[in-house]
Structure formats: structure tokens, C-alpha cells
């Protein structure tokens, strides 16, 4: 949820600037951060450290992929909390599949985040009876 007040909003925008020495080295960070800000706004998330670290991780990963001419379409996200990174990956990497691995109660929260993000995606829970692949598959620890 968004914190009330302009001071909280200003703090949320100012905080990522303090991380500039880290983010300036990441070539794709600016475009990913722009997507992350839009996603945070769509999901009514504040721009906190928890949100900031997700585009940093994705920028680091995409810079590495570009350096080795590698473009995966399947991602495994372990312990994604609110589901922001998995949702950001789906927003940035078109036609990708994401496996979200977490505790059952947290997976419910992640499913909700993916649902309210607004992109049409098929979701499923991994089971031995799964017949078709979904865009987003939720995996409980016992299913790993």
C-alpha cells in the first residue's frame, strides 16, 4: 500500500538517488527502473528499498545476459516476497515463463500481485498432473 503524504513520496523518490554509485554501473538500470516505477505505481507500492533492489537485480542479470549473448525466456524466482520481481520480469521480458518458488501463504500474495498487475497471463500451481505450461507457475517447497 502507498504511505500517505508528500513527505513519504519524496523520501521514496530520494532514497534511490543515494544508490547512484551502484546503479550507474548497470547499463540497463535506467530503463528497468522506469518500468519498475510504473509497475510500483500500478500496484500501489511505495518506492522503498524493497522495490528498488528488484530492478537492480534484474539490471544486473540483463547486463550479464547481454555480455554473453544469452536471452532466456524461463525464470525461476525463489523467495520473491510480494512478487514484485516476478511481475517485473513478466513486464520486461515478453513471452517469458516464471516459476515462483516460495512458502504457500506467500505464494497467495504473489498470485494476487501478478493478478492485479493487469497483464493477461495464465497461472498455475505446479503439480504432477499439470498438462499445459502456464506463463506463471507457483511452486511450493514440496514441489521443488
User: Which is nearest to 86 in space by CA: 64, 112, 68?
Assistant: 112
**What is d(CA 11, CA 15) in angstroms, rounded to the nearest whole number?**
6
Angstrom CA distances, 40 to 43, 49, 54, stand at 5, 12, 11
The residue with greater pLDDT, 121 or 85, is: 85
- Greatest CA span in the chain, whole angstroms? 50
Mean pLDDT over residues 122-134, rounded? 76
Bridge pairing between strands 74-78 and 123-125:
unpaired
Residue 2 has pLDDT above 60, yes or no: no
The three cell numbers locating residue 93:
521480458
Q: Per-residue confidence at 1, pLDDT binned at 50, 70, 90?
A: very low
Q: Per-residue confidence at 130, pLDDT binned at 50, 70, 90?
A: low
Can you give the pLDDT at residue 58?
95
Can you give the pLDDT at residue 128?
61
Q: 3-state DSSP call for residue 32?
A: helix
8 Å CB contact between 107 and 138: yes
Task: List the beta strands (DSSP E) in 28-111.
Answer: 74-78, 97-101
Per-residue pLDDT tens over the stretch 83-120:
999 999 999 998 899 999 999 999 999 999 989 887 76
Q: Per-residue confidence at 121, pLDDT binned at 50, 70, 90?
A: confident
**What is d(CA 31, CA 33) in angstroms, rounded to the nearest whole number?**
5
Residue that has been written with the C-alpha cell 510480494 in this structure: 82
Per-residue pLDDT tens over the stretch 4-57:
567 766 766 677 677 788 888 999 999 999 999 999 999 988 888 888 899 999
Amino acid at each position: 500500500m502507498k504511505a500517505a503524504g508528500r513527505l513519504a513520496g519524496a523520501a521514496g523518490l530520494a532514497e534511490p538517488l543515494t544508490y547512484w554509485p551502484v546503479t550507474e554501473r548497470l547499463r540497463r538500470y535506467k530503463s528497468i527502473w522506469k518500468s519498475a516505477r510504473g509497475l510500483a505505481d500500478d500496484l500501489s507500492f511505495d518506492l522503498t528499498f524493497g522495490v528498488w533492489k528488484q530492478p537492480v537485480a534484474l539490471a544486473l542479470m540483463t547486463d550479464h545476459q547481454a555480455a554473453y549473448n544469452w536471452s532466456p525466456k524461463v525464470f525461476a524466482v525463489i523467495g520473491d516476497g510480494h512478487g514484485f520481481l516476478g511481475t517485473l520480469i513478466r513486464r520486461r521480458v515478453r513471452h517469458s515463463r516464471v516459476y515462483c518458488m516460495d512458502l504457500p501463504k506467500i505464494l497467495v500474495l504473489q498470485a494476487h500481485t501478478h493478478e492485479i498487475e493487469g497483464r493477461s497471463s495464465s497461472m498455475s500451481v505446479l503439480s504432477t498432473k499439470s498438462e499445459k505450461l502456464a506463463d506463471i507457475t507457483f511452486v511450493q517447497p514440496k514441489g521443488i
